[in-house]
């Protein structure tokens, strides 16, 4: 018998059952089938020793480290590894209140395959879907004899790699993803019955990104590091409005207080202030590097940057906008923005970033950065400043990257053993 592949969870012909019973610990698990209610994929099991009937998270996506189980008879939660409530709370809630609402799925078939690997990217958070989707390249490359089937929320259709055998576009918004959709499960089960062999891709939360080619997803090539010095310096600012750069403790404190008091209108002053901070950063960069040009993106009403920056902000997202923003990132030596999943695509395309990392996000550092480099460039190209950083400090880092990128690369990554 060969060692099981750790990156595949078998569903068919035999369902994964290599774990102890969550109740009595016996390893006599009888596997009966799968359930695909939405974000989670679960196995339907019975313990041969104590008779417990239960559903258990298959170890994919965020359940890789924390597969929880639910007792069929009483809806009781088994959480042996101590998963945090955000991982199992919504699951249990959904299980107890299943929905028979119709869920539209569009099945796109590019290649017929009887042996498939299924990658489920459904999630309730924007960045989680992207990160799960980025698993696709490894599965395409490692299992060329299998067809990759990607379950994808429709809003990400433009990022589906054309090499996938099938893409199932699911009409669920992020906020709806946590439901327990019986009709979606029925649709999936019907599909699975048609294949000879099915494995689940792990859908790791943080797939390796060095070597990951974003062009295989978006069809737009990333910034070419070999041309760093040859291209005129361009910097893109990502201006999100729901998490702001304050540049002072007082600013953040006041913004929080205004929001608490329900005075969001007054809080908008801080959105305008963030624009001022970004403009001051641009001017500080241009004083030293007069050739520098800028783009600003974000979900917001455009305006206010004059001739200083190309303003691609909009309040309505569509595929054309997504692509225009990606083109801007792909021309960028550096992207600048506040921490969050909004930085994943910018860093996937740009050569480097300077990120404002709020104090309460310190535990999430780098989770939102697409780390393009395998070597010491990682320490050079991805810079973090705290939320009190002034425009001069951010500009200083951007200029440092522009000026020293090539020499650092030569000295640290080329002429070395």
Residues that bind Zn ion (CB under 5 A): 21, 23-24, 26, 47, 49-50, 52
β-pairing, 310-311 with 53-57? unpaired
Q: Quick one: 23 or 331, whose CB is closer to Zn ion?
A: 23
Smallest separation (angstroms) from Zn ion to the CB of 21: 3
Judge whether 20 and 67 are in contact, CB under 8 Å. no
Task: With beta carbons less than 8 A apart as the criterion, state whether 126 and 178 touch.
Answer: no
Residue with Cβ nearer Zn ion (71 or 302) = 71
136 near 148, Cβ under 8 Å?
A: yes
Give the pair of three-digit tokens for residue 69. 């189980």
Q: Which residues pair with 71 in a beta bridge?
A: 54
Rounded to a whole number of angstroms, the minimum distance from the CB of residue 30 to Zn ion is 10
Nearer to Zn ion, 26 or 407 (CB): 26
Token reading at 326: 């990606």
Considering the complex, state which of residue 53 and residue 359 has its C-beta at the smaller distance from Zn ion. 53
Least CB distance from residue 16 to Zn ion, whole Å? Answer: 17
Nearer to Zn ion, 29 or 389 (CB): 29
| Residues belonging to the chain | 417
Q: How far is the CB of 24 from Zn ion (least distance, A)?
A: 3
Extract the tokens encoding 297: 């993106």
Rounded to a whole number of angstroms, the minimum distance from the CB of residue 73 to Zn ion is 13
CA distances 237 to 270, 305, 362, Å, are 16, 12, 21
Pick 50 or 210: Cβ nearer Zn ion:
50
φ/ψ of 276, rounded to 5, equals: -65, -40
CB of 387 to Zn ion, least distance (A): 50
| Secondary structure in 3-state letters for 99-149 | ECCCCCEEEEECCCCCEEEEEECCCCCHHHHHHHHCCHHHHHHHCCCCEEE
Taking the least distance from each CB to Zn ion, the nearer of 52 and 177 is 52
Shortest distance (Å) from residue 26 CB to Zn ion: 5
Cα(364)–Cα(382) distance, integer angstroms: 14
């Amino acid at each position: 018998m060969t060692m099981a592949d750790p990156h595949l969870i078998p569903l068919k012909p035999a369902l994964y059952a290599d774990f102890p019973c969550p109740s009595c610990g016996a390893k006599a698990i009888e596997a009966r089938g799968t359930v695909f209610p939405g974000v989670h994929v679960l196995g339907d099991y019975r313990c041969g020793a104590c008779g417990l009937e239960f559903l258990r998270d298959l170890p994919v996506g965020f359940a890789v480290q924390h597969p929880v189980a639910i007792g069929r008879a009483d809806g009781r939660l088994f959480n042996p590894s101590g998963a945090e409530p955000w991982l199992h709370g919504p699951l249990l809630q959904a299980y107890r209140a299943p929905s028979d609402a119709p869920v539209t799925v569009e099945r796109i078939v590019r290649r017929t395959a009887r042996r498939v690997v299924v990658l489920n990217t459904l999630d309730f958070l924007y960045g989680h879907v992207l990160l799960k989707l980025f698993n696709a390249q490894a599965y395409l490359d490692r299992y060329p004899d299998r067809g990759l089937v990607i379950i994808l929320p429709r809003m990400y259709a433009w990022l589906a790699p054309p090499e996938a055998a099938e893409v199932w576009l699911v009409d669920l918004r992020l906020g709806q993803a946590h439901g327990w959709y019986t009709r979606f499960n029925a649709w999936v089960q019907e599909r699975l019955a048609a294949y000879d062999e099915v494995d689940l891709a792990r859908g790791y939360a943080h797939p390796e990104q060095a070597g990951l080619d974003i062009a295989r997803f978006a069809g737009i090539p990333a910034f070419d590091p070999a041309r760093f010095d040859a291209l005129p310096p361009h910097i893109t600012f990502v201006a999100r409005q729901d998490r702001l750069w304050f540049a002072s403790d007082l600013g953040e404190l006041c913004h929080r207080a205004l929001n608490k008091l329900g005075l969001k209108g007054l809080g908008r002053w801080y959105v305008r202030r963030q624009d001022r901070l970004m403009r001051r950063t641009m001017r500080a960069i241009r004083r030293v590097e007069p050739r520098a040009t800028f783009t600003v993106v974000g979900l917001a009403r455009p305006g206010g940057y004059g001739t200083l920056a190309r303003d691609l902000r909009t309040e309505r997202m569509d595929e054309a906008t997504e692509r225009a923003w990606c083109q801007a990132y792909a021309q960028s030596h550096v992207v600048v923005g506040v921490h969050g999943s909004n930085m994943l695509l910018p860093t996937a395309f740009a050569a480097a970033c300077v990120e404002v990392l709020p104090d309460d996000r310190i535990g999430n550092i780098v989770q939102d950065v697409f780390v393009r480099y395998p070597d010491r460039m990682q320490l050079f190209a991805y810079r973090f400043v705290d939320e009190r950083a002034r425009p001069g400090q951010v500009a200083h880092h951007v200029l440092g990257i522009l000026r020293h990128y090539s020499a650092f690369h030569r000295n640290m990554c080329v002429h070395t053993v």
